[in-house]
């Protein structure tokens, strides 16, 4: 843990009382002057830290900006997801950054956030609008011991994690639209992009990307997304605490990823089925050149969608563009 | 086509008679002096080209070294495989080079050969010995419109292509050992490594790597491979024409790849089943931590191996380490 992370960690442990410079100095093994200098730096980053001779340092408020050290101290002992967190002011696409990290051999669990993306993308290289400082754009490096087919499970887990994190931090109920969107009242607030490098029978690494529309106002969305996209702020009627939501997403993902690794994907799938607005509905799915039409019935054990066609056959669909029919 | 390729192409069209410098000059639209200079350069590369006032230039012999232009002129109008061919004297691994090309957006069909690899590898990052100038090490960039699961088909196609190319150029019958080896009399002469980048439901690109032991002598193999690996030269009792074999592999692969793209994978699979020494045999397959034991029965439509276990169940295996039991 870095010094900044250790200081924030200590301040969070005594939210009311405060911690003296002497105590921090002893705990971290650095001089009181060094503590003072780091506190000044944190203040410059937007952290409001009160200092008084009686109660010592107290954390009053944190900035809305994402800060890797700050996020680290919010997580409860991550085993995998968020062991290492990097925040970029701007990048092409967080999935691209993590892909390079993966090829450089980094261990799974590293997370990259970007405050803005110049080439954010969704499925099939579609453009994803990423307005600076308004949303959450993050990618997680995972190395699950799964066959390529099993990658669908990770998308499913990301969706259930997003639903729980939004419920916990924002207090909003969201719905999952198969395969990779999270909606509020039919409009998109989050998307998931799972990319993998693999041999025929095993995943080498997987990059899980998520984009969450947090604090956008209506004018932040381009005209062509009107009616299709929305933000948590617009739906909840209040600004979202982005760092808190970011930390919650990583915590929930940690839970679901450990379920998958422990062979308990059925628990994730059951939760997903409860939160999914696609199931039970008549759907038309464009899969490449092909159209699958029928009733979305369930997930199969690998995370594929089972669609009952008009002929009564059960078709297994891994991905595609879904339209829910009236 | 480069000038060298055009010259070699013209010389190949008139193997006996020869082509005059004037004719070459007219055909290629460059000066006779420029033709002369390129012929000199080709001679330096090892091409034996006879020049006489009467019959003009005649191609007498080609060097054993691989030459991109030369390989191009040997292929009959490739639609995909071998549209572009690069030969490296040395590289880490041809799969790595092609992977980078894929990420740079190159079109499918580009082929990279290396005369030696410093970090050649097989499945699961295992080391692959690549002695300079003795074998064929190549990788092909493909962008098939398949789900990740369909990548198995490409490995299957590579195996059948290798079998036909070796039969045609070397006159040897080889056997396929599922999933990715080609053997002569039980010893490995070629291996296939298929790697892919994908989204959950679609392959973004695929790198098909092949390594063929062509002209190694027994002493070229490290001690630990004695009894396991062999070369075409050792088995056929004569040196192999590596450029001819390289071109044949690309031509056969072009055929099988077009079959897959045209929805005729069943033809490839039928040929594979004929050439496979694993089918019909009792096998033990290590799949990660798991052992599948039974009788290898057939390929399924995706290219996975169907194994009938002792309980009578049919298990579907995508890849693993196979031991054929006695």
Please tell me the predicted confidence (pLDDT) of residue A96: 93
DSSP letter, residue B108: T
Phi, psi angles (nearest 5°) of residue B21: -60, -35
Please judge whether A151 and B287 are an interchain contact, meaning their C-beta atoms are less than 8 angstroms apart.
Answer: no
Please tell me the predicted confidence (pLDDT) of residue A87: 92
In SS3 terms, A219-270 reads as: HHCCHHHCCCECCHHHHHCCCCCHHHHHHHHHHHHHHHHHHHHCCCHHHHHH
Q: Is the pLDDT assigned to residue A307 strictly greater than 90? A: yes
Peptide bond into B29 cis (omega under 30): no
What chain A residue is nearest to B179 in terms of C-alpha separation?
A: A200
Fold annotation for A68-275: BirA Bifunctional Protein; domain 2 (3.30.930)
Burial of A19 (C-beta count, 10 Å sphere; 0-12/13-18/19+): buried
Fold annotation for B282-324: SH3 type barrels. (2.30.30)
pLDDT band at B145 (very low <50, low <70, confident <90, very high): very high
Q: Is A195 on the interface with B (CB under 8 A)?
A: yes
β pairing state of A110-114 and A84-88:
parallel
Q: At the top level of CATH, which class does the domain A3-61 belong to?
A: mainly alpha
CA A144, A145, A147 angle in degrees (round to 5)? Answer: 105
Please judge whether A202 and B155 are an interchain contact, meaning their C-beta atoms are less than 8 angstroms apart.
Answer: no
pLDDT band at B207 (very low <50, low <70, confident <90, very high): very high
CA A69, A74, A78 angle in degrees (round to 5)? Answer: 90
Most confident of A1-10, B63-72, B113-122, B234-243: B234-243
Please judge whether A195 and B197 are an interchain contact, meaning their C-beta atoms are less than 8 angstroms apart.
Answer: yes
Please judge whether A194 and B201 are an interchain contact, meaning their C-beta atoms are less than 8 angstroms apart.
Answer: no
Q: Do residues A48 and A4 make contact, with C-beta atoms less than 8 angstroms apart?
A: no
Q: Is the pLDDT assigned to residue A17 strictly greater than 90? A: no
Same fold across B68-275 and B282-324: no
What does the alpha-carbon distance between residue A102 and residue A120 come to, in Å, rounded to a whole number?
19
Please tell me the predicted confidence (pLDDT) of residue B259: 96
Please judge whether A197 and B201 are an interchain contact, meaning their C-beta atoms are less than 8 angstroms apart.
Answer: no
Most confident of A117-126, A206-215, B30-39, B269-278: A206-215
Q: Is the pLDDT assigned to residue B284 strictly greater than 90? A: yes
Q: Is the pLDDT assigned to residue B140 strictly greater than 90? A: yes
Q: Is the pLDDT assigned to residue B287 strictly greater than 80? A: yes
What does the alpha-carbon distance between residue B206 and residue B21 come to, in Å, rounded to a whole number?
43
pLDDT band at B164 (very low <50, low <70, confident <90, very high): very high
Nearest CA distance, B201 vs chain A (angstrom):
5
Where are chain A's structural domains? Answer: 3-61, 68-275, 282-324
Residues from chain B that touch A180, judged by Cβ atoms under 8 A, are 200
pLDDT digits (tens, 9 = 90+) for A89-141: 888 899 999 999 999 899 999 999 998 888 888 776 777 777 778 999 999 99
Which residues lie below 8 Å from residue B137, measured CB to CB, with a gap of 6+? Answer: B94, B113, B114, B116, B117, B120, B130, B209, B210, B211, B212
- Mapped onto helix, strand or coil, the DSSP state of residue A146 is coil
Residues from chain B that touch A147, judged by Cβ atoms under 8 A, are 318
pLDDT band at A241 (very low <50, low <70, confident <90, very high): very high
Instruction: Look at A227 and B163; give whichever has higher pLDDT.
Output: B163
Q: Is the pLDDT assigned to residue B122 strictly greater than 80? A: no
Q: State mean pLDDT over B48-64.
A: 88
Q: Is B198 on the interface with A (CB under 8 A)?
A: yes
Token code pair at residue A112: 């990259």
pLDDT band at B139 (very low <50, low <70, confident <90, very high): very high
pLDDT digits (tens, 9 = 90+) for A193-206: 999 999 998 999 99
pTM of the prediction? 0.83
Residues from chain A that touch B100, judged by Cβ atoms under 8 A, are none
Q: Do residues B256 and B160 make contact, with C-beta atoms less than 8 angstroms apart?
A: yes
Phi, psi angles (nearest 5°) of residue A133: 70, 5
Please judge whether B204 and A195 are an interchain contact, meaning their C-beta atoms are less than 8 angstroms apart.
Answer: yes
pLDDT digits (tens, 9 = 90+) for A161-201: 999 999 999 999 999 998 889 999 999 999 999 999 999 98
């Amino acid at each position: 843990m870095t010094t900044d992370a250790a200081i924030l960690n200590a301040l969070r442990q005594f939210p009311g009382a405060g911690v003296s410079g002497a105590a921090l100095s002893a705990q971290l093994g650095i001089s009181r002057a060094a503590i003072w200098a780091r506190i000044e730096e944190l203040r410059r980053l937007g952290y409001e830290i009160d200092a008084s001779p009686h109660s010592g340092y107290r954390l009053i408020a944190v900035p809305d900006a994402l800060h890797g050290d700050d996020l680290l101290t919010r997580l409860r002992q991550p085993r995998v997801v968020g062991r290492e967190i990097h925040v970029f002011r701007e990048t092409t696409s967080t999935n691209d950054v993590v892909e390079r990290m993966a090829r450089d051999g980094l261990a799974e669990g590293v997370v990259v956030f970007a405050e803005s993306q110049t080439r954010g993308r969704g499925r099939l290289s579609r453009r994803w609008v990423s307005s600076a400082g308004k949303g959450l754009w993050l990618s997680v490096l995972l190395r699950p011991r799964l066959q390529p087919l099993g990658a669908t499970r990770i998308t499913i887990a990301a969706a259930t994690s997003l639903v729980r994190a939004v419920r916990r931090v924002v207090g909003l109920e969201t719905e999952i639209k198969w395969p990779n969107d999270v909606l509020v009242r039919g409009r998109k607030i989050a998307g998931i992009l799972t990319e993998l490098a693999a041999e025929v029978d095993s995943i080498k690494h997987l990059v899980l990307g998520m984009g969450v529309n947090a604090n956008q106002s209506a004018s932040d969305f381009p005209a062509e997304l009107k009616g299709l996209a929305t933000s948590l702020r617009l739906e909840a009627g209040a600004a979202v605490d982005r760092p808190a939501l970011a930390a919650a997403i990583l915590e929930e993902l940690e839970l679901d990823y450990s379920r998958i690794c422990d062979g308990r994907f059925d628990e994730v799938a059951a939760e997903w089925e409860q939160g999914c607005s696609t199931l039970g509905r008549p759907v038309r799915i464009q899969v490449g050149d092909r159209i699958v039409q029928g009733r979305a019935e369930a997930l199969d054990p690998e995370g594929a969608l089972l669609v009952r066609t008009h002929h009564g056959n059960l078709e297994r669909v891994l991905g595609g563009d879904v339209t829910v029919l009236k």
